[in-house]
Amino acid sequence: MDEGHAWRVKVPLDVAAMHQAAQLLVGHHDFSGFRSSMCQAKSPVRTLDRLDVVQRDGEIVIEADARSFLHNQVRIMVGTLKRLGEGKFTEAGIRAALDSGNREEAGPTAPPDGLYLTEVIYP
């Protein structure tokens, strides 16, 4: 029914832990550890204004707000939070990925299924 429109995760996830850990990513950071090796952005520094993880109608919804994102940044953040929600990653791991800028320290890249651009605001 939702094939291709959502990432179907077959294990239970700790949504509260995911949301708490997501707050470590909010703010002005060097997101080198959370971008694709194919990213062509001149600077890996971005400001993430909001990263919320909530359960809504039986689905886990992750919403991110920023002026711009790096190549695969959202997918890598989601993949990292999913691993944390499974208990296979820690908040310290997220901090290490941010601090080191090493892509290998962050979680996997989530599939594009369920990734939607919902709004663009121009000043």
**Is the Cβ–Cβ distance between 36 and 26 less than 8 Å?**
no
- pTM for the whole structure: 0.94
> Is a pLDDT exceeding 70 seen at residue 38?
yes
15-105 topology per CATH: Alpha-Beta Plaits (3.30.70)
Determine the pLDDT at residue 3. Answer: 65
Q: Which residues contact 13 (CB under 8 A, 6 or more apart)?
A: 60, 82, 85, 86
Beta carbons within 10 angstroms of residue 120's beta carbon: 5
Determine the pLDDT at residue 35. Answer: 97
SS3 of 43, please? Answer: coil
The two three-digit tokens of residue 27, written as one number: 């703010």
pLDDT in tens, 82-121: 999 999 999 999 999 999 999 999 999 999 998 888 888 8
